[in-house]
Amino acid sequence: MVTVVFGARGNVGRHVAAGLSSAGEKMRLTSREPLPAGFPPGAEVVTADLEKPETLPAALDGAQRVFLYAKPEGIDGFVTAAESAGVRHVVLLSSGAVLHPDAARNPIAQAHLAVESALENSSLAWTFIRPGMFATNTLWWWRNPIRDEGVVRLPYPDSQTAPIHEKDLAALAVTALTQPGHDGQAYPVWGPEALSLREQVRHIAAAVGREIPLETISVEQARVELGKTMPPIGVDAILAAWQAGTTAPPRVSTVVADVTGRPAHTFAQWAEDHADDFR
């Protein structure tokens, strides 16, 4: 049985590919680039762009299962190509934003809902993974300041979030792809522990082996800082999440352990896995 992994060099996709490979599953990996580097040796790699449906029939030929990133542009073409190819099950990396009370006014939620809806209205079986905050986001916020200046500047240092290790999202996806019982399931995924941003920086400092001082800045200064590495829509989402984390504890969940049978990674483990990114 062939599983197609879209975005197989992405933060989550690369661990989905690794998990399928460890499980001895046949897979085909995709990239939009014609000569992709950085894939495991010997892997079958095809060029495909979810926003260019004409590229999809070749990628999906003979496949039964798909790990999918949410790209609303072209999703109808994806569904048509997947149904024609005989794909049975799609595991979608969606977003917990779809569950937010403001989802109707949130462009991130709307983009993910458009993809979910197209899959729900298709003949394909589906599983939706709906994560909250990725731990990898801290690379956007803090990698350059820590590397270049050795300091982190934050508007809400005591705001709490519950970051998720990308390996846990991949483990959920691999389980949903390879084990029965996940068709029609939508899994909200929050991290296993609530931590203040101050505590998260402390874990990174411990992993890299040096002090990382923290400075408090205004929201407007933070908007400028974050805008150096993130698009405005991402900056708005992060500042809103941090602001929310100052007044109410973030949601945590046990879904990773419940579904995969293995405990979710802590943020301290994530920081160890990524220590070199901050050095």
Ligand X SMILES: NC(=O)c1ccc[n+]([C@@H]2O[C@H](COP(=O)([O-])OP(=O)(O)OC[C@H]3O[C@@H](n4cnc5c(N)ncnc54)[C@H](OP(=O)(O)O)[C@@H]3O)[C@@H](O)[C@H]2O)c1
Interface residues with ligand X (CB under 6 A) are: 6-7, 9-13, 31-33, 49-51, 69-71, 93, 95-96, 131, 133-134, 136-137
- C-beta separation of 29 from 17 below 8 A: yes
Residues 6+ apart with CB under 8 A from 9: 31, 36, 38, 39
Smallest distance from ligand X to CB 47, Å: 9
The first and second tokens of residue 199, run together, are 């505590």
Residue 39 or 268: the one with the smaller Cβ distance to ligand X is 39
Smallest distance from ligand X to CB 260, Å: 18
Q: How far is the CA of 198 from the CAs of 136, 140, 187, 242, 272, in angstroms?
A: 16, 16, 29, 12, 17
Residue 9 or 26: the one with the smaller Cβ distance to ligand X is 9
Q: How far is the CA of 117 from the CAs of 75, 122, 124, in angstroms?
A: 10, 9, 12
DSSP 77-118: HHHHHHHHHT--EEEEE--GGGGSTTGGG-HHHHHHHHHHHH
Smallest distance from ligand X to CB 121, Å: 20
Residue 24 or 105: the one with the smaller Cβ distance to ligand X is 105
Residue 181 or 231: the one with the smaller Cβ distance to ligand X is 231
Residue 151 or 239: the one with the smaller Cβ distance to ligand X is 239
Write phi, then psi, for 128 (nearest 5 degrees).
-105, 130
Residue nearest to ligand X (CB): 10
Smallest distance from ligand X to CB 254, Å: 18
How many angstroms separate the CA atoms of 11 and 277, rounded? Answer: 13
Smallest distance from ligand X to CB 11, Å: 3
Smallest distance from ligand X to CB 210, Å: 26
The first and second tokens of residue 91, run together, are 């595991």
How many angstroms separate the CA atoms of 161 and 147, rounded? Answer: 23
| Residues constituting the chain | 279
Residue 140 or 266: the one with the smaller Cβ distance to ligand X is 140
Smallest distance from ligand X to CB 202, Å: 21
How many angstroms separate the CA atoms of 87 and 99, rounded? Answer: 27
Residue 116 or 225: the one with the smaller Cβ distance to ligand X is 116
